[in-house]
Amino acid sequence: MFYLITSQDVALLSLAPGQVETEKYCTILIHYEKGVPPTSEELAKKLESKKETVQAEALEELILLMINGESYPKLLMTIIRFVVTSRDHRVKKLLQIYWEIVEKTKDTGDLKEEMILVCNALRNDLMHANEYVCGSTLRLLCKMKYYRILEPLKEAVLRNLAHRHSYVRRNAVMCVFSIVKSFGVEVLPEAPEDIEQLLLVEGDLSTKRNAFLMLVNCDQERAIKYVLSLQDQVSSMGDIFQLAVLELVRKVCRSTSVNKGRFLRIVFDLAASSSTAVSYECASSLVTLSSSPVAIHQAAQAYVQLLTEQSDNNVKLIVLDRLRDVQKHHKQVMEGMVMDIFRALSCPSLDVRKKVANSAVCRPQRFCRWTLGVKPIATYQELHRCVLNFPSAAMAPTTISAPGRFLSLPKSVASVGVDAWNKKAQLAQMLKTLDGSCKARTVSEVMQEVRGFFTLGHLLYAYAYLRMLHYKDPNLYYAALWTDPAFLLPIVYTPTVGEACQKFGMLPFFPRGCYVSISDCGKIKEVLAEYAECMLPKDSNGNYECQCIVFSDAGRILGLGDLGCWGMGIPIGKLDLYTVCAGFNPYKTIPVIIDAGCTDASGNSAKLTIRDHDLYTGLKQDRMKHEGESGALVNTAYYGACSLIEEFMTAATELFSEKCLLQFEDFNTNDAFPLLEAYRNKFLSYNDDIQGTAAVVVSAILGGIRLQKPGNKELIRELRKRKVVFHGAGSANLGSANLLRNEAGVPKESIVVTNSKGVIWKSESGNEGNFKNFEQKDVASIGQPSGYDHTSLLGILKHHKPDILIGAVGQAPNCFNKEVVETMVQIQKEKPGGGGRPIIFALSNPMSQAEITAEDCYNFSDGEAIFGSGTRFPPVTYKKRQRVPGQVNNFFIFPGMSFGAYWCEAERIPDKWFMVAAAVVAQTLDDKDLEAESVLPHPSRIQQVAHNVAVKVAMTAQRDGLAKQPLGDDIAMVSAALKARRWSPRRVAEGYGQGCNDNCTIS
């Protein structure tokens, strides 16, 4: 018997970047027990056995005998007849070893005829359902050097480039490369194009790297084009792929200066990588390819970071040699880094300390005598004593050269925020746990992880997981959102984002978002430029590319109140919806927080101590306010000659052009309306809380009317007959009331709005009333209410008898109690014709603040109410019928509104367009939505809805003469133009969701 240790005969990538090799098969003979080998007849008898275990043992014995010099040519046909058809995986594995070592040619050198039969077996294995069989067969073919065997298998090999399993795709790439390398690209002329297509959608990093290396070797021009198309995304693609890109960059830049600037930009971006190998290779590449002081400084900085952060002494020694080489030719660049290099004196390795001390970079004669006034030897001794006594301080970075790389806070607070966060052991452990759990390489793996958190009820952890995924692999993150928006959007945005904002400082810092503080007044343009330099791409003219900015001062986050800088989760989540729903390029957007201070615990619904929290990194001061023209308190920093908002919006348009869309988000109502009025015609801007919410509310009402009267197509006319009570006088309800009155044509007397004092009223002169600002005054009823309790919601309903009740109070959860709902039902029964159904919306976010739950609304109304909510409630089964409550969420409006307005380069966005958008959304309801009694389309069709809105907005803008860039003469042309401008993730492992396809229609 033989005892053997055999290496797997696998195709591997060599350690040298840019090269692909095949590891040769290796066998070590350990012991040979029997002296007389079996005959061909004896082995044939075993191979012909119907027992697969016997066949496997015989095949293994045959392989070992052949490896040790025995010859059994007659058994080839026996194996083809009796063994090849086996489905046993062990037999399959042994067969592949046998195919490699068996003699394949005659004495004349011609291929044996039997090998053609082997080709059929190999083809079947290439199409095998088991990925291991398929992948290992491809691995075997990598070592086949007989074109007659490979030729009939080419189609099957190429088909495996699209296999569902990454193991198979990885080996398919290797097999294709092996064929092309051995026989020339002529035998597989379609291979480079197929590999390029694979690169665009591949999710597995190793497969992607293999495919890219093959493209580099077979079609360098195509590889260059591919890399340049991903210029802004290479930094998120994993270290082994980045190393392959760097190898190509060096190879190309040494031979030609074409596109050298763009390639160097890639190297600059990668220099900040957390990977030691990538950072080192970037530094080496910059030194080799450029003599620019900026490039040399970046390279030296990367070397210094490796020196101070890496624990491997060999790395430190190598880096010190590289720094010495840099110093020889670029002394001035190195002068400012001496103290950083001195920190390496805390290293326990004597060799490292000696090299630091003897390094030409750090010889401190001139530095010590002129700067410190002491002798060099004393300086060395003092420095060495300090770094040994305080190693953590010595090894800590003194500055953050690129704040956008690490976190999204201004330099003035960045190090303090990170340092405070890192001192919390449980938070640091959470970061490690998140990083460890975020290993997904495909969409299905992401969905599996998130569903696991969801099943356990850990929605906030799912949110943190997705933020980590966005940091590590933005394309995969957006691909996942694309695949199932209905499931994931409630995690990345409402309702989960509400809790995320309340705890934002206790979540890991990631490089997303720009903070503009009142302390930046006079230099806001510099702040935006600093962020843009780190985070935005540039066009061919060197200008920053920014399509849109969502900015908030977090003065009123959902229904949660003032959360200050912790409100950054809102503009981040909003822009994710811009990308997923409409198609904005996420790399060309900026979420912004305007930091004007933060109210104490009394300013938020949960009474959280945010401003004084030790992890709060914003301005720890109250908001400066004064009494505005309407008598309400407004933020002083936003008005007057030194308006922070005007400086910000002006700076943004100067940096990113006038077509950049600027969206107000979650400003306190007292500021939201006057700011919108002040800037809506100066910039391409709107307030989603006022206008977007108004549009989706009107759309939901129209959807409710469709449920009430399925055959009626005159929805606007029906709407004008309805009476509406708005409970709550925030920006959402005020905007909705104005849109109904000004654009839908609903009579003013049919609209009643309440505030904390009851029905909002004013005298005929307008000098008296219980309104709190101009906006409430504008919707106020004429004359002081009398004859009923106008401070009680129940009294208001019984007196005004509305058809529609809309709650957006924000801080009065469950205020629509059973008596309120029953009253709404009774009102409809008492109206002429009777039997009508009331429309009841609970719009406050998050779920904890909702005026009523879906289940209670259906139960209290005996199934009569038509319900919608700001937060997505689960389906409710009532009287054996399942109802899916419509989510009255702005994401049906703002993505399409913004996308259409941006690409037609609208001069402004008038209120009329929001009424147009509302009608489009209502028209998008399909039979399934109506059957489920949903007032709005299902979120799974959000991309279709957004596209329909964008098309209609662009058409309306052109018709109104407000479009600087017409997109077409008819709906079909505009639709096609907008589809062509949609951004989509380039790397999608297992396909997109429905997305925006040819079924998107406008009526």
Residues labelled catalytic: 493, 574
Q: 625 forms bridges with which residues in the sheet?
A: 635
Three-state secondary structure string covering 774-825: HHHHHHCEECCCCCCCCCCHHHHHHHHCCCEEEECCCCCCCCCCHHHHHHHH
Share of the chain residues as helix, strand and coil, in percent rounded to the nearest 5: 55, 10, 35
User: How many other CB atoms are found less than 10 A from the CB of residue 717?
Assistant: 11
Relative orientation angle of helices 40-47 and 75-82, to the nearest 10 degrees? 10
- Which residue, among 461, 442, 501, 915, has the nearest Cα to 719 in the 3D structure? 915
d(CA 548, CA 687): 13
d(CA 651, CA 521): 11
d(CA 638, CA 647): 9
Sheet of 866-869, strands arranged across: 758-759, 751-755, 724-727, 804-807, 839-842, 866-869, 886-887
d(CA 745, CA 725): 16
Task: Indicate the helix (H) or strand (E) that contains 48.
Answer: none
Find all residues with CB under 8 Å of 5, minimum gap 6, and list them.
Answer: 27, 28, 30
Residue 516's SS3 state is: strand
**DSSP characters for 172-234?**
HHHHHHHHHHHH-GGGSTTHHHHHHHHHHH---HHHHHHHHHHHHHH-HHHHHHHHHHTTTTG
d(CA 696, CA 735): 11
d(CA 123, CA 629): 81
d(CA 993, CA 207): 23
The two beta strands, 761-762 and 781-782, are parallel
Residue 168's SS3 state is: helix
Dihedral sign from CA coordinates of 103, 105, 106, 108: negative
The two beta strands, 876-878 and 881-883, are antiparallel
